């Protein structure tokens, strides 16, 4: 928990791949999937898919270029910490943090690939960045995220006809967090919670069954069942409002008085339920679901960037970001006062 507003969010930039995929693409492959009518899988109008060979680091660099266009080519020169999160790391074991730092020309004291956090990774990484910067006496940290599984997992021949396939989209985002640096948007509070008892409920499966690293004819996808979906809906409906209210209480703002709520965006059902639980109108809960689908951990920063860029979020506004991950094994919320760009 951040107890004083000395940690700031300096800026954030999103990136969406050029390839924009309409819902009709998946309709041509639709199978008789028993989950097709489930509220979890109501299809967004569009989603973006990474280009062939476009990596997590490539997409993060695209977001980085937006930031240097805004702030100058030397804006990253004094970065001390680089944190990355890839939904689907291109290489087993390691992520792309080292590659990203190298491509940015940096020699940070800490490079960390954050594999947990899922859809709440943005909040989780702000908390980690805060701890690392405070331990080092201040400085700047890059928080970079990529969602790259839509084009690689959900367009596979055996997967693209399933109800789950049209929901995800690809994209990336980068933010810079600073400690003991003037300016930016003060981070007022952060809370993260782990619920290990639910960690086994999100599974990757294939038909016939195999471990993900084993060769075989079945293509890997998410193992959804009606029973699992019921559990995830119940947990998600509860976890996101709970952690958002927890942070709101800590910073002394009634949930209904928040200027903005930005969450992850698995589907329209969750979005509606979360804002209703916090007694907020739809106009205060921006999302990019119809254009981008479920961006997993990238959803919060991409939506934040969009709402700032189009003028909805103004200087002085209190923004609550909140999300839950996987099948409910992690949840987090972070609030900040937007300070402008």
CATH number assigned to the domain comprising residue 262: 3.40.47.10
Is residue 67 domain-shared with residue 146, that is, in the same domain?
yes
Number of domains forming the structure of the chain = 2
pLDDT digits (tens, 9 = 90+) for 72-82: 999 999 999 99
Is residue 175 domain-shared with residue 192, that is, in the same domain?
no
Tokens 């002085």 map to which residue? Answer: 316
pLDDT over 70 (residue 283): yes
Predicted local confidence at residue 35, as pLDDT: 79
Predicted local confidence at residue 204, as pLDDT: 92
What's the whole-number mean pLDDT along residues 139-144? 97
In this predicted model, which residue has the larger pLDDT, 141 or 41?
141
Using a pLDDT cut of 90, give the percent of the chain over it.
Answer: 89
pLDDT over 60 (residue 273): yes
| R_g (Cα) of the chain, nearest Å | 19
What's the whole-number mean pLDDT along residues 143-157? 97
pLDDT over 90 (residue 181): no
Is residue 167 domain-shared with residue 238, that is, in the same domain?
no
Q: Which residue range forms the structural domain that includes residue 330?
A: 188-337
- Residue ending a domain, among 183, 207, 223, is 183
Is residue 110 domain-shared with residue 255, that is, in the same domain?
no
pLDDT over 80 (residue 225): yes
What's the whole-number mean pLDDT along residues 118-127? 98
pLDDT digits (tens, 9 = 90+) for 13-52: 999 999 999 999 999 999 887 777 787 889 999 999 999 9
Is residue 179 domain-shared with residue 192, that is, in the same domain?
no
Q: Closest Cα to residue 127, out of 290, 281, 331, 302?
A: 331
Is residue 166 domain-shared with residue 192, that is, in the same domain?
no
- Residue ending a domain, among 158, 183, 208, is 183
Is residue 90 domain-shared with residue 222, that is, in the same domain?
no
Is residue 30 domain-shared with residue 171, that is, in the same domain?
yes
Confidence of residue 4 (pLDDT cuts 50, 70, 90): low
Is residue 130 domain-shared with residue 40, that is, in the same domain?
yes
Query: Any residues with CB less than 8 A from the CB of 309 and at least 6 apart, and which?
Result: none
Distance, CA of 341 to CA of 325 (rounded, Å):
29
CB atoms within 10 A of CB 234: 11
- What's the mean per-residue pLDDT of the chain? 95
Is residue 60 domain-shared with residue 175, that is, in the same domain?
yes
What's the whole-number mean pLDDT along residues 302-308? 98
Is residue 157 domain-shared with residue 304, that is, in the same domain?
no
Is residue 122 domain-shared with residue 221, that is, in the same domain?
no
- Residue ending a domain, among 165, 183, 201, is 183
């Amino acid at each position: 928990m951040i107890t004083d507003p000395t940690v700031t969010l300096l800026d954030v930039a999103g990136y969406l791949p050029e390839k924009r995929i309409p819902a009709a693409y998946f309709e041509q492959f639709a199978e008789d999937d028993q989950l097709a009518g489930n509220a979890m899988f109501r299809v967004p109008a569009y989603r973006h898919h990474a280009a062939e060979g476009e990596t997590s680091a490539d997409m993060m660099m695209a977001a980085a270029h937006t930031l240097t266009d805004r702030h100058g080519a030397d804006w990253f020169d004094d970065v001390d910490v680089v944190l990355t999160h890839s939904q689907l790391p291109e290489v087993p074991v390691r992520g792309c943090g080292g590659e990203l730092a190298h491509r940015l020309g940096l020699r940070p004291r800490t490079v960390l690939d954050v594999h947990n956090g899922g859809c709440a990774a943005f909040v989780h990484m702000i908390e980690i960045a805060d701890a690392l910067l405070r331990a080092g006496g201040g400085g700047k940290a890059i928080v970079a995220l990529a969602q790259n599984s839509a084009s690689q997992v959900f367009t596979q021949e055996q997967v693209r006809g399933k109800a789950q396939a049209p929901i995800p989209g690809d994209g990336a985002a980068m933010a810079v967090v600073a400690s003991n640096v003037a300016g930016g948007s003060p981070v007022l509070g952060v809370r993260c919670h782990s619920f290990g008892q639910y960690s086994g409920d999100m599974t990757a499966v294939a038909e016939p069954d195999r471990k993900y690293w084993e060769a075989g004819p079945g293509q890997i996808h998410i193992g959804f069942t009606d029973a699992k979906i019921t559990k995830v809906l119940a947990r998600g409906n509860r976890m996101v409002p709970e952690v958002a209210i927890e942070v709101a209480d800590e910073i002394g703002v009634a949930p209904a008085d928040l200027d903005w709520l930005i969450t992850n965006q698995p589907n329209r059902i969750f979005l509606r339920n979360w804002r209703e639980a916090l007694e907020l109108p739809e106009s205060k809960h921006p999302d990019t679901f119809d254009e981008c689908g479920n961006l997993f951990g990238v959803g919060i920063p991409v939506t934040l960037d969009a709402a700032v860029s189009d003028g909805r979020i103004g200087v002085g506004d209190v923004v609550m970001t909140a999300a839950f991950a996987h099948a409910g094994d992690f949840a987090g919320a972070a609030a900040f006062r937007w300070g402008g760009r």
